């Protein structure tokens, strides 16, 4: 007898193969049988006639490192069919730390409202995740920025050879304790100071364990080719597999930048480089507002940053920066930049900075810096979003076999301790929007191809064992949805709306979402073992 039978749905196995009408039998958290003929005899039979049955979605790039500690339900993800998240991206992870007092300073989207266990090492952090009832499975990368801070504190330098060796040793320890890969964020402090010679020793550790090096490259605008070439060179020297995060070029890059980047990758592959990449299915980019500050202004921790923002001479130096992270700022395209997440200025979320500047009677750039000051200790959790990407570039990437689709967001909820938090404009609907906009409405990909981008492609790239496909013996991570109605309901003014069109979600064979309503079940697991 099966525990559950999903009966009569259109089954897509996640490999890119065409769908077929069939039944799926689930037993003891695993897929026990898939049959084009009818299955019978189960404790529960769920009629999914007319619906699509797919592997649960694998979000291979998120920043839910702390939000899952604060609220482990992962509501925004489960509601749109996500069953596995990969955290610790862009060089940012919650561990390792040298003291418990450092946790708030390295943890993305940290909130003091959350009650949580403390940790030092990476394994202790994973234990803290394990102790909660996770709504999704979790794989965790260790971030270069956090490793750097554990060795160097907030010093404005990349580290001498002995210090880099210490960093590599910490990466090795994290890998041994269950880290699934190593990441860097080279547009953020302290990654902005690191050169290949600092990163290669740490990437070599990832290579030793057969794990990925994922990087947010140094820039994707005027000098996009230098940024991508640096990533390729670092991975080549270390002999590691490379994942280029959210690869699409930003505003300021030449029109041919995406084509050129793919050509660079193709040439490297011809010489045996192992490179893949992912995209955010949206033309909006999002990041920390503080990332607009030049690196000298980000040194020394939040208190030092706030002092500089309040100093009139330092403020003018900041505004005069010739190479801000977003060239939209230099071009004064303030109408294309909106406030995304704030604590003290939550009433302004969704407003563009041209509007905010007008409301406050100040230059929009001063409004940005004033808001950072007002956010105080929450400065590093303040986010903004901009219209930075081109759909043509996204379409081109999606047509590449090695491209995965990601959220680059955080798991949050419309209630509880995270109700005022937000990770991106597409955070509540990234997977739904991908299937709605790029697959159903614009037909950039077929449904089978689209599902592959968020199931088996990321799962295989990450080395996830028996996840990402509907296959006998695999974990029963399943999403059942209506392909005709799956929709992201997010807007800039109302970004906290759950997706619609998802009927049922199973995580490890247990029902997390039933008939579009979240259940009390959270059956996710921390993943610590990976295929080499």
pLDDT of residue 350: 85
Confidence of residue 462 (pLDDT cuts 50, 70, 90): very high
CATH number of 58-283+389-469: 3.20.20.140
Mean pLDDT of 16-42: 96
* Residues recorded for the chain: 532
Give the pLDDT band (50/70/90) at residue 379.
Answer: confident
pLDDT of 522: 98
Q: Is the pLDDT of residue 65 over 80?
A: yes
Task: Check pLDDT > 80 for residue 395.
Answer: yes
- Kindly state the average pLDDT of the residues 488-509: 93
Give CA–CA dist 381/290, Å, rounded.
9
User: 480 Cβ partners below 8 Å, 6+ apart?
Assistant: 6, 9, 46, 48, 51, 52, 53, 54, 502, 503, 504, 505
Predicted confidence (pLDDT) per residue in 317-331, tens digit: 999 998 888 889 999
Q: What is the CA radius of gyration of the chain?
A: 22
Average pLDDT (242-250) is 96
pLDDT of residue 88: 98
pLDDT at 413: 97
- Mean pLDDT over the full length of the chain: 95
364-375 and 302-310 helices cross at what angle (nearest 10)? 140
What is the mean predicted confidence (pLDDT) over 272-277?
A: 97
The pLDDT of residue 286: 82
pLDDT value for 346: 87
Band (405; pLDDT cuts 50, 70, 90): very high
Contact in structure between 153 and 159 (CB atoms under 8 Å): no
What pLDDT is attached to residue 349? 86
pLDDT at residue number 495: 87
User: What is the pLDDT averaged over residues 147-159?
Assistant: 93
Q: Please identify which residue in the block is written with the tokens 């971030």.
A: 143
CATH 3.20.20.140 domain locations along the chain:
58-283+389-469
Residue range 281-293, pLDDT digits in tens: 988 888 889 989 9
| Upper half-sphere CA count for residue 412 (Cβ side, 13 Å) | 28
- Rounded to whole angstroms, the Cα distance separating 400 from 415 reads 38
Whether 271 has a pLDDT exceeding 90, the answer reads yes
pTM above 0.85, yes or no: yes
Residue 51 confidence (pLDDT): 98
- pLDDT-derived band at 532 (thresholds 50, 70, 90) equals confident
Check residue 184 and give its pLDDT.
Answer: 98
**Residue 178 pLDDT class (50, 70, 90 cuts):** very high
Three-state SS letters, 85-142: EEECCCCCCCCCCCCHHHHHHHCCCCCCCCCCCCCCCHHHHHHHHHCCCCCCEEEECE
Q: Provide mean pLDDT across the span 84-101.
A: 97
What's residue 4's pLDDT? 98
pLDDT of 487 over the 80 cut:
yes
Residue 394 CB coordination number (10 Å): 24
Query: What pLDDT, on a 0 to 100 scale, did the predictor assign at position 340?
Result: 86
Residue-level pLDDT at 410: 95
In this prediction, residue 82 carries a pLDDT of 98
CA neighbor of 285 nearest in space, from 242, 253, 262, 319:
253
Buried b (16+ CB within 10 A) or exposed e, 417-449: bbeebbbbbbbbbbbbbbbbbbbbeeebbebbe
């Amino acid at each position: 007898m099966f525990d559950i039978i999903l009966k009569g749905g259109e089954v897509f196995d996640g490999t890119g193969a065409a769908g077929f009408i069939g039944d799926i039998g689930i037993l003891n958290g695993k897929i026990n049988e898939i049959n084009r003929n009818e299955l019978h005899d189960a404790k529960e039979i769920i009629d999914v006639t007319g619906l699509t049955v797919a592997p649960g979605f694998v979000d291979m790039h998120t920043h839910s490192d702390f939000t899952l500690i604060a609220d482990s339900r992962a509501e925004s993800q489960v509601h749109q069919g996500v069953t596995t998240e990969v955290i610790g991206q862009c060089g940012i992870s919650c561990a390792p730390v040298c003291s418990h007092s450092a946790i708030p300073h390295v943890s993305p989207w940290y909130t003091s409202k959350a009650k949580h266990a403390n940790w030092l090492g990476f394994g202790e952090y994973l234990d803290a995740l394990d102790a909660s009832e996770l709504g999704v499975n979790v794989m965790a990368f260790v971030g270069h920025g956090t490793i750097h801070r554990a060795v160097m504190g907030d010093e404005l330098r990349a580290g001498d050879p002995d210090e880099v060796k210490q960093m590599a040793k910490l990466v090795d320890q994290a890998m041994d304790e269950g880290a699934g890969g190593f990441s860097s964020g080279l547009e953020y402090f302290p990654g902005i100071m690191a050169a290949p010679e600092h990163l290669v020793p740490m990437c070599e550790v990832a290579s030793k364990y057969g794990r990925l090096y994922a990087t947010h490259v140094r820039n994707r605008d005027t000098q996009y080719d230098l940024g991508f070439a640096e990533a390729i060179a670092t991975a080549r020297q270390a002999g590691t597999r490379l994942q280029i995060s959210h690869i699409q070029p930003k505003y300021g890059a030449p029109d041919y930048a995406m084509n050129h980047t793919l050509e660079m990758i193709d040439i490297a592959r011809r010489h045996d480089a192992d490179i893949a990449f992912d995209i955010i299915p949206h033309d909006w980019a999002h990041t920390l507002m503080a990332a607009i500050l030049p690196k000298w202004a980000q040194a020394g921790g939040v208190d030092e940053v706030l002092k500089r923002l309040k100093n009139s001479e330092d403020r003018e130096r900041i505004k005069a920066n010739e190479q801000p992270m977003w060239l939209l700022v230099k071009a004064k395209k303030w109408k294309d930049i909106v406030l995304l997440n704030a604590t003290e200025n939550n009433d302004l979320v969704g407003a563009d900075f041209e509007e905010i500047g007008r409301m406050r009677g100040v230059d929009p750039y001063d409004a940005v810096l004033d808001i950072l000051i007002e956010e105080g200790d929450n400065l590093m959790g303040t986010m903004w979003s901009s219209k930075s990407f081109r759909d043509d570039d996204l379409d081109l990437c999606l047509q590449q076999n090695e491209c995965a689709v990601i959220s680059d967001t955080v798991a949050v909820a419309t209630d509880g301790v995270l109700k005022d938090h937000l990770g991106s404009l597409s955070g509540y609907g990234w997977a739904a929007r991908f299937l709605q906009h790029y697959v159903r409405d614009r037909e950039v990909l077929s449904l089978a191809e689209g599902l592959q981008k968020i199931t088996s492609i990321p799962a295989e790239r990450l080395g996830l064992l028996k996840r990402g496909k509907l296959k006998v013996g695999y974990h029963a991570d399943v999403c059942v949805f209506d392909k005709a109605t799956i929709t992201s309901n997010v807007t800039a003014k109302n970004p906290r709306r759950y997706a619609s069109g998802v009927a049922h979600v199973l995580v490890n064979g247990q029902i997390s979402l039933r008939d579009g309503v979240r259940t009390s079940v959270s059956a996710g697991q921390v993943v610590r073992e990976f295929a080499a």
